Structures are given as structure tokens and as C-alpha cells.
A = this chain, B = another copy of it.
Amino acid sequence: MAPHANETSSNNNGHDATPQPQQPHRPSQRASAKGGPKILPPGCSEENFTSFLDAARKLVEDDNVFLIELDHNLIDGDYMQPCKGHDMHAIVDREYFVASATVSPRDVPEVQELMRLCNKHEIPVWPFSIGRNTGYGGAAPRVPGSVCMDLGKHMNKVLDVNVEGAYALVEPGVTFFDLHEYLEERNLREKVWLDVPDLGGGSIIGNAVERGVGYTPYGDHWMMHCGMEVVLPNGDLIRTGMGALPDPTVSKDPNLRPDQQPGNRCWQLFNYGFGPYNDGIFTQSSLGIVVKMGIWLMPNPGGYQAYMITLPRDEDLHAAMDIIRPLRMQMVLQNVPTLRHILLDAAVYGNKKSYSSSDKPLTDEELDEIAKKLDLGRWNFYGAVYGPEPIRNVLLSVIKQSFLSIPGARFWLPEDRKEPNSVLHTRSNTLQGIPSVDELKWVDWLPNGAHLFFSPITKISGDDAMLQYSVTKKRCVEAGLDFIGTFVVGMREMHHIVCIVFNREDHESKKKAHWLIRTLIQDCAEHGWGEYRTHLALMDQIAKTYNFNDNAQMKLNERIKDALDPKGVLAPGKNGIWPKGYDKEAWAIPSE
């Protein structure tokens, strides 16, 4: 990536380091002085950057500004270093998606002030909550050299858990584990359950605003959010929904800042408020930083039973889907169940080498052998029923009767599985909102395992699932990779999650994975399928597939972006939306 010459020269001739109007932003120059940053923000002089850092240090104190220096070693696969603002599963050069610095505000006014500072210095800022976001870019910014804002380091409080209203109000740093532990410690799980995704280490807010999913009846995290507090790109602070309505009956301390004032009593009870319902524009978005969010908890259903149904043949996917659709829509399947390919389970139990000496994609025969060895099916369906026993019994009898019409299908309860670290045991926890990190293990399928998620949306139907499976599997095989995937069943569609595992120390393996996901995006677009979420490196490509009527939606997104963030400082490029000050072609991801 060539440094862009001279674009900051107008800032070098005085002590006022605020940049003047300039050419469109293009990729930044690399810094060169040892002890200096690896990279500067785009269009930013060293003087301006230094001046920004000084102001930031003054604001949040020295400990909370972390400069990513030239000689910093960015460690792939290291989940614990979001402060280094990079992608722990780098799919391109690991020094590409990297921040210039990370700043950790201690409270909401500091978030607001940081936004004002970024505007003043015209420095792009990339907020993250915890920075896990594995498979989608970790803590890394879309624009190299952005300043990362690490919200979770300090802003990590459970502000409220209300059992009567069955909700929590949390800050960005609260993980699923944190809230779960909060409930456990207070014996509140007898009353309310949390919904958790596969891995419990991520931020509740981060997951919901990226529209991630979990597996209980409350699996659509965005649907189950209620009420937000958001810092806008200009530093303004809003509360959405009923939160915009002060509650004069709650006594307010005049010494408290707006963000510390207790919210309206209905803030976490009713989403819509009055007038335009704005919450959605702050998801997968660069329009605001969510600093508080309500999330609905599920009242303890009064009974629970997880189960697994194993299906022996590859083509059973077809019959299973046509069974699942009506059951799910009728709410006989009350939660978000999953139909997992054998290799996703197998990879939790061991790496590829433990099953085969082949370095090619495994054949059908090899998959059958693995299934036999593990006493699993080619596809394995994980579900649960919720409620008092008579209700569970009615539901389970319908579910069993439906699935067991597939020849060779077998029904399992957790107690039927004796193997250590049983996936069914893990799922039995996940499906009742008990978080874990057990499923991290499948990333080790290959040596130095790292992964990317490819996640197209599809109809719940045998024909659609088979077609999407065959299209994606074919390309995996072409890339020399195993197909590892799961169908996550929503209300009327599925998130088909294809886990692209690659060897992060093997340039060829990374190249193949990158080729694979680019090709899958294109293949799927040709079938009319689009992805719900993606890694930084693929955002532009996917955004371009959502192009109805000459990209009318993108034009709308850009108009709103430019209105709320005229200097384009908040998360430029996120989900393919580039502010007017950016030359978007110049930011295409280097292909290797």
C-alpha cells in the first residue's frame, strides 16, 4: 500500500494542528519513526495526531491512551488484546486492519468529548465494546490508522436488572458472562434467563447492535433490545424510545449528568416512543455509539428440556428443513434451533488431524466414518422445549413424531450422551442462556486455526437449504477447505453460518479463505441470497449486492451519514458506507 504523498502538508506550517479542508481521504501514510505509531490516521499529519493524542490523554488520562507503535507485535489469535485495535483472525496482512491508537473513555461525557475531539482533528474513530467480534474483524477498524475507542474497558456496569419487568440495562463492556454471573450471584435465574450466543465472552450491546443471534425464544437480540442511550457523531447524547421522556417523579440529583439520570420507568418496557423509531439506524451503523441499552430477559419458563436429533444422510437436510419450517412458524419449535453439519461437532471434539491424515477436504466416506465414530449424524439438530411438563410433553411428542419420520433419525437427551465435553451438554446450556466458550474449539480444526464467517440468509425450505448447501460446499472443496456450517433457524428464515477455518500462519491458506468468501458472496448474490453481517474486508462487496434501483438504499444511507457526521469521523466505511470526504475506491481491500 503506497503512502499518499503530501495530502497533509497544509497542516505542517503552524502550531494550530487542526486540519484545513483537503482532498478526499485516501489510505494513510505509514509512520516511520521508531517509537512512533505503526500508522497514522488518513490525511493526518504527525503534528495533528500528536496534538490529538495530547488532548485525549488530558481527557481520559495517560493510562487510557494506548499508542500502537511501529514495533508492536500484533498477535493473531489473541483474544485478549483488543487494545491493539486489530483483527485477531486477520484474513489479509495482519498489519493492514490496524488502529493508530486505542482510547478508553471512562464515562459517557468522555465518549462525547472524544467525538468532539475527533471532529476537531478530523480523525476517524472506530468504537468497539469488547472487541471480540470473531470472524467479523475483531477490534480492528475498517480504515487503517483509525483511532479505536475501547468502550468496554471502563464502561462495563450492569446498571439495572428488573425482575418484574424482565429486563436489564447494561453498558457496552458487559459481556454475556458478566450478566449471567450477575444473575447467578443474586439467584435471579430462578426468575429470568439471559439469551446468549455460542460464545459468551462478547459484549451484549456489541452483539445486539451487530444483530447477532442466540438460541432461546429470545434469540433475536435486536428484536429483544429495548431503549438505548447513544452518542451521536457530533457528541450529542440521545435516549431513544421512552427514554426521551424524562420522569419527573423520580427524584433527580442536580449534580448528576444527563447520562446518570435515571431513565423513564417505561424506557426498557416499550421500544417505540413517539415519532420516528430511530433505534435501527444505530445497528451495523456508523451513525452513533450505543453507550447504554436495555435487553429483555426471558421469564423462567417453568421447565426446560434440551434434545438432539441425529440425521444419518447428507440429503436428510432436505426433509429436515421441510419439517422444521411449519414447526418453527407454529412455535412448536419455540426457540432458535440449529441444524449442524457433522464437521462442526467433530471439530469441537478434535482437530482434523485427529480424524484423518488427509490435507484435502474430507470425502463423504470419511465424514460417515467420523459420524460413526462420534455416534452422530451427518446433520445434527439441537433444540429445546420450554414450559411446564404437560406443555413440554405435547411439544416434544410432535417434534419427535415429525423428525423420526426420517429413516435412521435418532432422538437424544443430554443424559444419553456420555462423551466428555459433549456438544449436546454445551448446547443444553446455551439453549437455556448459560454462556460458555466451549465452541471456540472448532477454530482449531486446522493448525494455527483462524476463521471467517460467511453468513447468507435463506428461506427455511428443503430446496433452498440444499441449494445453498451445495453451492457453498462446492466452493469450499474448490478452495481445498472442509465445509463446516450450521443453519440457525429464525422466525421465517435461516442464518446459514459457514465457518471458514484457515491456517493463519500459512499465506496460501489465508489466500484461499479470502478467495472463497469473495466467491461465495458473488455466487450467492447470483442466487438472490445476501449476507446479514460480514468481516471488514467484505463490507464493500456485500453492500454492493444490495443494489435495488441503482443503489437507492446506499444513497439514502449516505445522505443520512453525511447529515449526522459531516466530517465523516465515525467508523468510515462501516458496512460499505463511506462519508463524502472519502474516495471510496481508494479504500478497496488489497487482494493478495
Contacts and interface: CB of A to CB of B under 8 A. Distances in A.
Contact of A530 (B264, B390, B531): B264
A273 B455 CA distance: 12
Given A211-B277, A269-B457, A278-B281, 15 more contacts: A166-B329, A211-B272, A226-B492, A239-B548, A245-B546, A246-B528, A249-B526, A265-B459, A269-B492, A273-B532, A275-B546, A276-B283, A277-B281, A277-B284, A280-B281
A585 B272 CA distance: 26
B232 A556 contact: yes
Interface string A252-293: 000000100000111011101111111111111101000000
11 contacts: A264-B528, A266-B457, A266-B459, A273-B530, A274-B542, A275-B284, A276-B283, A276-B287, A299-B326, A556-B564, A559-B563
A543 to B, nearest CB: 6
Contacts of A453: none
Contacts of A282: 276
B545 A270 contact: no
A590 interface: no
A249 B329 contact: no
A447 to B, nearest CB: 33
A407 interface: no
Interface string A462-496: 00100000000000000000000000001111000
B164 A325 contact: yes
A302 interface: yes
Contacts of A274: 284, 530-534, 542-543, 546, 575
Interface in A196-248: 211, 222-223, 226, 232, 236-240, 242-248
A265 B528 contact: yes
Contacts of A532: 270, 272-274
Contacts of A237: 549, 552
A80 to B, nearest CB: 30
B563 A560 contact: yes
B280 A285 contact: no
A411 interface: no
Given A272-B532, A528-B250, A239 B549 contact: yes
B280 A278 contact: yes
B273 A283 contact: no
Contacts of A442: none
Contacts of A278: 280-281, 553, 556-557
Which of A236, A458, A556 has most B Cβ within 10 Å?
Answer: A556
Contact of A557 (B243, B276, B531): B276
Given A166-B492, A284-B276, A560 B557 contact: no
A266 B279 CA distance: 23
A577 interface: yes
A555 interface: yes
A493 B266 contact: yes
Interface residues of A, number: 96
Contacts of A273: 530, 532, 546, 553
B277 A548 contact: no
A268 B546 CA distance: 15
A448 interface: no
A419 to B, nearest CB: 35
A330 interface: yes
Contacts of A166: 329, 492
B266 A529 contact: yes
Contacts of A562: 563
Given A276-B575, A277-B284, A560-B564, A238 B530 contact: no
Contacts of A159: none
B275 A575 contact: yes
A565 to B, nearest CB: 10
Given A165-B459, A242-B530, A528-B265, A275 B563 contact: no
Contacts of A464: 265
A568 interface: no
Contacts of A245: 525, 528-530, 545-548
A563 B565 CA distance: 12
Contacts of A223: 223
A582 interface: no
A559 B564 contact: yes
A200 to B, nearest CB: 23
A459 B394 CA distance: 33
Contacts of A388: 394
B236 A556 contact: yes
A177 interface: no
Interface string A386-429: 00101100100000000000000000000000000000000000
A537 B226 CA distance: 29
A576 interface: yes
Contact of A277 (B269, B283, B545, B556): B283
A128 interface: no
A136 interface: no
Contacts of A97: none
A527 interface: yes
A525 B274 CA distance: 13
B458 A555 contact: no
Interface string A565-581: 00000000001110000
A349 interface: no
A502 interface: no
